[in-house]
Homo-oligomer: A and B are copies of this chain.
Amino acid sequence: MNPQLPAQPENRLLAALPPEEYERLRHHMEPISLSLGEVVNESGEKMNYVYFPVDSIISLLYTMLNGATAEMGLVGREGVVGIALFMGGGTMPNRAVVQSAGTLIRIKAKALQNEFRRGGTFQLLLLKYTQALMTQIAQTAVCNRLHPVEQRLCRWLLMTQDRAQSNTLQMTHEFISNMLGIQREAVSLAARRLQGKGVISYVRGRIKILDRAQLENDSCECYRVVKDEQERLLC
């Protein structure tokens, strides 16, 4: 169906498949590219595809009735968007938005489910990833409750950089504030403190990570917990 799949920066879940399973799925893989802000899936809406990010980042967001938003999870090439399609629910009550433009590989729900039901490596990988995502979401819950803005910002920058291929992130303070569920001014303040320490630098929607080690120091423990758990589960 699609002759040329991206060569190197493939999605990790797909890359980990044994040849046989990969071959079967290969014919259903369809690369697409999405730009910043595009909605991959609307809250509560039935999905027709499952999406495997290649060099894009997808944010799982929840919007409250009053319009306030907060992120619950972040998905890059280590994962997949559309868990509900194999978990059996079909839909989820949150939105999936492109946070960093790039390509994804999508697979039709039916094809995915067929392969999932075979109970092979594919199923195992998807379930393990789902568990890793749960840990990420759970940690976000606790972190939101117990840690101050600056630490949360550090954590978020680290998570984002892990999923970006670069150390320059294209995003405004305003955007970040919607992800962290805080005021834009609070982001600006925290970012400025980090810039003062030489950890990051930024100008108009372009953030550069200068000192990753220090960023990890300034972050709360949550970053490490999630990262370690992810590596344990997916390597």
Which chain A residues have a beta carbon within 8 Å of chain B's beta carbons?
Answer: 60, 62, 64-65, 68, 70, 72-73, 83-84, 86-89, 92-94, 117, 119, 124, 127-128, 130-135, 137-142, 144-146, 180-182, 221, 225, 229, 232-233
CB distance from A174 to the nearest CB of B (A): 17
**Bound form: Cα–Cα A210–B72 in Å:** 34
Chain B residues lying within 8 Å of A139, measured Cβ to Cβ, are: 62, 93
- Cβ contact of A144, chosen from B84, B127, B144, B232, cutoff 8 A: B144
- Cβ contact of A127, chosen from B70, B87, B233, cutoff 8 A: B87
CB distance from A149 to the nearest CB of B (A): 11
The secondary structure that dominates the A interface is: helix
User: In the complex the two chains form, is A131's CB within 8 Å of B93's CB?
Assistant: no
User: In the complex the two chains form, is B229's CB within 8 Å of A70's CB?
Assistant: no
User: In the complex the two chains form, is A70's CB within 8 Å of B141's CB?
Assistant: yes
User: In the complex the two chains form, is B87's CB within 8 Å of A229's CB?
Assistant: no
User: In the complex the two chains form, is A93's CB within 8 Å of B146's CB?
Assistant: no
- Cβ contact of A93, chosen from B94, B127, B182, B225, cutoff 8 A: B225
**Most B C-beta atoms less than 10 A away, residue of A70, A83, A134, A229:** A134
**Bound form: Cα–Cα A70–B143 in Å:** 9
CB distance from A143 to the nearest CB of B (A): 8
